Structure 1
């Protein structure tokens, strides 16, 4: 297995819509991911295997020192092989290089071991309002 990781890599909307549907368990949508990340994100990381999109993470930001990990996705066949950890590491390195001082993430409870253990995040207090 050879997986390549690319900061601000090129991807097709259909491929990311399919990966997102697989990762979050819904029918594929027709979202314009390319337009969205180019308008609103510091960057993103694409993981490709044999030219196929196999992983993705979006890095949104506040335009200053705070970056935010969103939509960490790995194709089913490559999960638990270190791909997600590497996606986040590449995202963190590039956010740091861009001058960010903090990388935030929120997640469901079943992902604690991944984000706190494998990726090196630490627990903090945070708040959320459902809108």
Structure 2
């Protein structure tokens, strides 16, 4: 299977919502307004496509300065463990660096520690969180 990475691709809300639901176990009938959110808040986003089928996604938000934030890394469960997630994070890192960012932050659940730290090169840091 050949995967093509496309930066800032035209987002179809239903398609990205379905991918997100499959990757995170949500309700595929719920359509999130991804295109509007990305155009307002994201520095960039990257899609992984198998032909015309969206099989992976990541977005990069930022503070407009030196800090960028990796969000919503998602790979279709049928395509996981094939290097798509790593390729998406690498592309997002390249985009953030090209925008002049000095730091790329990511939060993740414990079961993703190996992926982000060992495969993608992030290092552990202390952080804080307030549930709202």
Whether TM-score is above 0.5 comes out as yes
In the TM superposition, what are the counterparts of 1:79-94 in structure 2 within 5 Å? 79-94=80-95
Deviates more, 1:6-15 or 1:104-113: 6-15
Partner of residue 101, structure 1: 102
Counterpart CA distance in 2 for 1:13 and 1:120 is 30
Partner Cα separation in structure 2 for residue 91 and residue 112 of structure 1: 18
Gaps of 5+ in 2: none
Instruction: Please report the RMSD computed on the Cα atoms of aligned residues, expressed in angstroms.
Output: 0.7
Q: Tell me, in whole angstroms, the C-alpha distance in 1 between the residues paired with 2:26 and 2:90.
A: 27
| Matching residue of 2:17 | 17
Q: Secondary structure at the match of 1:120?
A: coil
Aligned pair count reads: 131
Give distance in 2, aligned partners of 1:10 and 1:74: 18
Helix, strand or coil for the counterpart of 2:39? helix
SS at match of 1:36: helix
- What is the rounded CA distance, in whole Å, between the counterparts of 2:75 and 2:32 in structure 1? 18
Structure 1: 4+ residue segments shifted above 2 A: none
The answer to whether the 8 A contact 1:4-1:49 is kept is: yes
Q: How far is the alpha carbon of 1:11 from its aligned partner?
A: 2.6
Q: Secondary structure at the match of 1:20?
A: helix
Q: Deviations over 1:74-112 (max 9, x none)?
A: 011210000000000000001000000000000100000
Quote the Cα distance in structure 1 between the aligned partners of 2:117 and 2:19. 24
Q: Distance in 1 between matches of 2:63 and 2:11?
A: 24
Task: Return the alpha-carbon distance in structure 2 between the equivalents of residues 11 and 38 of structure 1.
Answer: 10
* TM-score calculated relative to the size of structure 1: 0.98
Give SS of 1:70's match: strand
TM-score (norm. length: structure 2): 0.97
In 2, distance between residues paired with 1:118 and 1:9? 25
